[in-house]
Amino acid sequence: MTGILNILSAVKTGIAAAVDEFFNRTTLLLTGNGTNGAQNNTFLDSSTNNFTITRNGNTTQGTFSPFSQTGWSNYFDGTGDYLDAGTNAALGFGTGDFTIEAWIYRSASGAFPIYTNGPVGTGSLAFYVQSDKISTDYYGGTSLAGATTLALNTWHHVAVVRSGSTLSLYLNGSRDATTTTSSNNTTSNGMVGRDWTNGSSYSNGYISNVRVVKGSAVYSGTTYTVPTSPLTAITNTSLLTCQSNRFLDNSSNAFTITRNGDVSVQAFSPFAPTAAYSAATNGGSGYFDGTGDYLSVASNAALDIMGGSYTIEFWFYPVSVSTGIMIDRQDPSSPYTGYSCRLINSTTSTANLNWDPGATGSLTTTSAPIKINQWNHIAYTCDGTTLRIYANGNREATTTTLSSSNYAGALTIGARATNTQPMNGYFSGFILRKGTATYTGATYTVPTAPPTAITNTSLLLNFTNAGITDATAKNDLETVGNAQISTTQSKFGGSSMYFDGTGDYLYANSSASNAAFGTGDFTVEFWLYTAAGSTTYNLLDWRPTSTNGSYLTVYLDAGVPKVAVNGSNVITGGAGISATTWTHVAVCRSGTSTKMFINGTQSGSTYTDSTNYIGVANRPAIGGGGYDTASTLNGYIDDLRVTKGYARYTSNFTAPTAAFPLQ
């Protein structure tokens, strides 16, 4: 209890605590700590070859990776998104005991289906939020509605439990409603995020750690301790999903999870991390925007893999799917020689994997195993006689070796050297091993940690050389111009992010869902040091290029701090910010009241704010570059933090006296 009180006290006074109890709601944290002059443009080969990696386009890197330290959820946008675990007797309860539980984060009012085992008809069962209260329904039988209204834009643990003839609903560890039932659940389909009874009823928000237990009442009594870590497959678990870096059932049933709509895997969860981000533990990724981004490695005999044993493996999170190059070392003239790994588009949400060794044919999967908006582990291996293609630990295609001579040219990642067939998404843990077929069986255990340079590793990219990094591991930052780390000025830690006023800014390459505040509370805060007073600088901007709307903008107008929404000022600070001094700036919404604080004191009026702040990918822009590239910052930013779903400050406070916690 003492530790909790210390944390709460620290939040109220502005004194940094060792651990931030709201870290799981933090969607961006830029500490500004690093090496002087560091950007996010230099890529390193961690193999013993230490090859020079040449950056093309605006390829960038950061901390978003398959190995999140905060856990995972799935995001459903309310328009046709749902997951389907299929039909199986393990998902039908009859008249027996059961537990269905999950964490939910609703982005809007309205129906929010959590789990349904329809199809519609007498005997089917649904667990959902209706009229802002948790509810459950045996169609044609017992219905039960909770008593407590659920707030939007916050995580809630919800559960429905049947024990004998007693049916109970639980909210955040407390029993919210109970009744008796004799209803019989006769259906056995498993669906997350959609209500079978209404094809237009889909979840709008995040769902995490869905666990279905057949035969056991996991919770009883009036209260229980809410889980503080990801759920596990306890006895009688039939389904355990929405908790991985890909769409996966972690129960012993290992049901295939079919993705419908554009459900996405997000590193946003109800759980606090057990440790701060670590490059060695959590890795990183390279972001390729699909418009001229790729990396290249000059020709070297260590890349001549054709004719022997080899392994190419990596993680890939596609943002969009089309035919594109993942790795290429082919002669661009005809006939081709060399090798190429690529995606072959099958649908708008899945793709096949292809191996092309040139003029001797190719090998392509047929099950379209690569899914959009999730991390996919991909491997191509050859033991000298047999070529295999793997996706997420499963062998998807095999053939006798397709031979081809080696091409003495550059190797490229993310597109061809001719800048054609570019990829749009994130790569992580990229390995090329010459002389070793790492995987040869029908399956393998998918890696759970970043790779290291083991024997025969010719090339290794872990994408952990970014200078400006997000401590929440949700974003890769693009350093535009020569935005960089500087040791000239800092508030904490000996360095900060420097912008020279001539085209320097940052883009947070992330999903639109993480960038959106919706109608919920939020906190945006940072330390600012400007080079000159009475100037106009863009500081933080969530707007897409040349577009106004329901987006937040924080800027200086002739030195006066202002907040704008839809292109109009909604808060104007009471005085200008002094140049060449560190100033703490915070903008917070609590309920419908949005306030700006300068050094802990409210500045300007309170904005009555019911805006539904929408998100756009690759925002916010920091230091400029949102709506346009004018008025870029000449100065420094340190300890920038964005908190989604929580107002850290609602009245005057003492500005932070130490750096923010990293977990």
Looking at 502-559, which runs of residues are DSSP E strands?
505-509, 522-530, 537-541, 552-557
Which residue shows structure tokens 């500490």?
31
Q: Is 475 exposed, middle or buried (0-12, 13-18, 19+ CB in 10 A)?
A: buried
Q: 374 φ, ψ to 5°?
A: -150, 160
In CATH, the architecture of 2-40+468-644 is Sandwich (2.60)
DSSP H or E segment with residue 182: none
- Euclidean distance between CA atoms 402 and 397, whole angstroms: 13
Q: Which CATH number fits domain 73-266: 3.40.1190.20, 2.60.120.200, 3.90.1150.10, 3.90.1280.10?
A: 2.60.120.200
- Report the alpha-carbon distance of residue 599 to residue 588 in Å, rounded: 14
Which residues lie closer than 8 Å to 254 by C-beta, 6 or more apart? none
Which tokens in the block code for residue 616?
């756009």
Closest CA to 471 of 9, 5, 19, 3: 19
Residue 7 — φ and ψ, nearest 5°? Answer: -65, -45
SS3 13: helix
Predicted local distance difference test score (pLDDT) of residue 467 = 98
Taking Cα atoms as reference points, which of 523, 512, 496, 521 lies closest to residue 623?
496
Rounded Cα distance between 194 and 126, Å, is 10
CATH 2.60.120.200 fits 285-461, yes or no: yes
Q: What pLDDT, on a 0 to 100 scale, did the predictor assign at position 396?
A: 98
Average pLDDT by consecutive 10-residue portion of the chain (663 residues)?
A: 32 56 96 98 98 98 95 96 96 97 95 91 92 95 97 96 98 98 95 80 96 98 97 98 98 97 96 94 97 97 96 97 94 88 91 91 95 97 96 97 91 94 97 98 98 97 98 97 97 98 95 92 98 91 96 97 97 95 98 98 98 94 95 97 97 98 95
DSSP strand pairing (424-434 vs 166-171): unpaired
CA-CA distance, 389 to 81, in Å (whole number)? 29
DSSP string, 486-497: ESS--SSTT-EE
104 close to 206: Cβ distance less than 8 angstroms = yes
Distances 649 to 8, 20, 290, 565, 641 between C-alpha atoms, Å? 12, 14, 39, 20, 13
- Given a contact cutoff of 8 angstroms between Cβ atoms, the answer to whether 305 and 449 are in contact is no
Token reading at 60: 């960038």
* Cα–Cα distance measured from residue 105 to residue 100, given in angstroms and rounded to the nearest whole number: 16
Nearest to 315 by CA among 590, 601, 64, 59: 64
d(CA 450, CA 470): 18
Residue 515 host element (H or E): helix 512-515
What pLDDT, on the 0 to 100 scale, is given for residue 4?
30
Which of 118, 114, 264 has the alpha carbon at shortest distance from 190?
118
Q: 292 burial class (0-12, 13-18, 19+ CB within 10 angstroms)?
A: middle
Secondary structure string (H, E, C) spanning 332-352:
CCCCCCEEEEEEEECCCCEEE
Whether 97 and 181 have beta carbons less than 8 Å apart is answered as no
Nearest CA among 439, 315, 321, 449 for reference residue 376 = 315
Distance between CA atoms of residues 151 and 145, nearest Å:
16
pLDDT of residue 197: 63
Q: Which residues contact residue 210 at a Cβ distance below 8 angstroms, ignoring those fewer than 6 apart?
A: 100, 101, 102, 114, 115, 192, 239, 240, 241, 242, 243
pLDDT in the model for residue 32 = 97
pLDDT at 198: 60
CATH 2.60.120.200 residue window(s) in the chain: 2-40+468-644, 73-266, 285-461
- Which residues on neighbouring strands pair with residue 21, listed in sequence order? none
